[in-house]
Structure 1
Amino acid sequence: MKAISLAKPSDVNAIEQLYLACKDDLLHRQIFQWDDTYPNRAYFEDCIKEGSIYIMKDGEQLLGVVVIDELQSPEWREIDWRHDNPLVIHSLMVHPEGQGKGLGRNVLEFSERLAVERGYASIRLDSFTGNEAACNFYKRHGYVERGNVHFDSKPKGHERYVCFEKELV
């Protein structure tokens, strides 16, 4: 049975391994959205301490990860957001072998339920424009494009991200 729960310090190795598998899969597809600076092990450790990282497991097998908090990138300031009081999704990952099986949808729906339970009116996130599968995934689940941002820290030609928003109430 698949269960989603807050990550514990003992989960950091499995989270890092899942991230590396996802990163390798993206690189194989020529998608350079993640590098050694973000996300990384220190980021995941910080998220565990802050209580903002959730994991999906089937027994002992880690299938997915998502970071859920209120932190918005400074680059997002210029976006024409339509809803206030957002919760923000970061680093949503599903193991490449589990993609296309509804696991990402399960993690996304969990995130939305958590936001509603905590009184948030919307969810915001961004996705690399070159990751068409991820962008289409969010659109299929009711997320609306609100604009594009440019991250100077990303590799040349891979700096453009699309910002998405979904109203929850």
Structure 2
Amino acid sequence: MTDTNLLHLATQDDSIGIVELRDSLARWQQQKQIQQWMPGELSTEQVAEQISRNEWWVCKEGRKIIATVRIVETDDLIWPEDDPQAAYIHGLMVDRSLSGQGIGQEVLAWAEQSIFATGHSVARLDCVASNANLCQYYERLGYSERGVVEFGPDSSWFPVRRFEKRGLSGADRSFE
């Protein structure tokens, strides 16, 4: 995938494909003993609701979803401090059969560009804190660590490490 125009706003018809991709990646994570996602924890109803808010973007080969990303304006659970300059990247997923082709990096770059083009100057994301490879990946791509959030013993969530990248917003670029 070299053309990032292949990312399109998801439709309600994409909710099943997004959940299927997420569940397949959750199963792969379990096989690799990565504690992050669990199969079945994200429902098609949740994704459909998020799609109705224009949060999901998809890349397809034919009718199959091969990559996704979700962009949201707030993330009170992981980033409770209010920053109107920030937008948040979630649900960045690439079909494992395409691993190593740079698609994840392209989708992430596309998400950053989308965030900066809408007037935000900070792109934020998180990942499970124990996934050292993924944390290092984000750092190699220019993200700075912004601490770990722990959810407590009663939560089913694992601790997450927060990252952010600063860029020029679309508003700032108009004055270059």
Same fold (TM over 0.5): yes
- Check if 1:60 corresponds to 2:63: yes
Cα offset for 1:107? 0.8
Cα offset for 1:34? 1.5
2:7 is aligned, of 4, 9, 26, to 4
Cα offset for 1:119? 0.6
- Give the match's secondary structure for 2:33: coil
Aligned-partner Cα distance in 1 for 2:115–2:78: 23
Q: Which amino acid aligns with 1:110?
A: W
**What is the TM-score with the length of structure 2 in the denominator?**
0.83
- Give the match's secondary structure for 1:164: strand
Which position in structure 1 is the counterpart of 2:156? Answer: 154
Distance 1:75 1:20, change over 3 A: closer
Cα offset for 1:142? 0.5
- Check if 1:14 corresponds to 2:17: yes
Aligned-partner Cα distance in 1 for 2:20–2:36: 17
Aligned-partner Cα distance in 2 for 1:154–1:57: 31
Counting aligned pairs with the same residue, the percent is: 29
Which position in structure 2 is the counterpart of 1:119? Answer: 119
Which structure is richer in relative contact order (CA contacts within 8 A, separation 6 or more)?
1
1:31 is aligned, of 30, 34, 38, to 34
**What is the TM-score with the length of structure 1 in the denominator?**
0.87
Task: Tell me the matched-pair count.
Answer: 163
Aligned-partner Cα distance in 2 for 1:101–1:67: 21
Cα offset for 1:41? 2.1
Structure 1 unaligned residues grouped into runs of 5+: none
Equivalent residue runs for 1:41-56 within 5 Å: 41-56=44-59
Q: Are the counterparts in 2 of residues 39 and 91 from structure 1 also a CA contact under 8 Å?
A: no
- Give the match's secondary structure for 1:105: helix
- Check if 1:96 corresponds to 2:114: no
Structure label with greater radius of gyration: 2
2:76 is aligned, of 73, 76, 85, to 73
Aligned-partner Cα distance in 2 for 1:58–1:106: 15
Q: Which amino acid aligns with 2:27?
A: D
Which position in structure 2 is the counterpart of 1:137? Answer: 137
Cα offset for 1:96? 1.4
Cα offset for 1:43? 2.2
Cα offset for 1:37? 6.9
